[in-house]
Amino acid sequence: MSQVQQYWLPGYGLSRHIVLGHIQYFLGPSASVRPYSYQGRDGYLIVGVPLTREQIDDLATMSREYERQESVRMTGDTGISSSARQSEPYINEIVPVRISGSRRRPIEHESRRAY
């Protein structure tokens, strides 16, 4: 078995929610992870046995699915066509924000102003 190490994992294509919530599933209960920037790039500092390429691919797949589900949840769009399901999900879909009043500010800012 591999030795426990401290290493940086680039964060490209990896959801923070998935990595932080599932690292112990992949590496065992003694593993730890935290967001970390290395040479100006965002990623994760992991203490544990090294992840395999297959495990990293699994984290990326889980991240894509999580981001897709969150995008659907946020937009309330449940009518995804079958052709859209087969293509790569677009996780940066815009999210409509309801505007109130003549100043055209998002409602959440209006409620903060009252305090």
Residues 22-47 have a mean pLDDT of: 93
Pairing of strands 41-48, 5-10: antiparallel
Identify which of 38, 37, 40, 43 has the alpha carbon closest to the alpha carbon of residue 10: 43
pLDDT digits (tens, 9 = 90+) for 77-108: 655 554 555 566 554 554 556 666 655 544 44
Instruction: Look at residue 88 in the predicted model and tell me its pLDDT.
Output: 63
Q: Which of 1-10, 36-45, 53-62 has the lowest mean pLDDT?
A: 1-10
Residue extents of the structural domains in the chain: 5-113
Amino acid occupying residue 59: L
| Average pLDDT in the chain | 79
Task: Compute the distance between CA of residue 93 and CA of residue 70 in angstroms, rounded to an integer.
Answer: 11
Query: What predicted TM-score, i.e. pTM, was given to this entire model?
Result: 0.64
pLDDT exceeds cutoff 90 at 18: yes
Q: Which of 12-26, 50-64, 72-86, 91-105 has the lowest mean pLDDT?
A: 91-105
Q: CA triplet 63, 24, 88: central angle to 5 degrees? A: 10
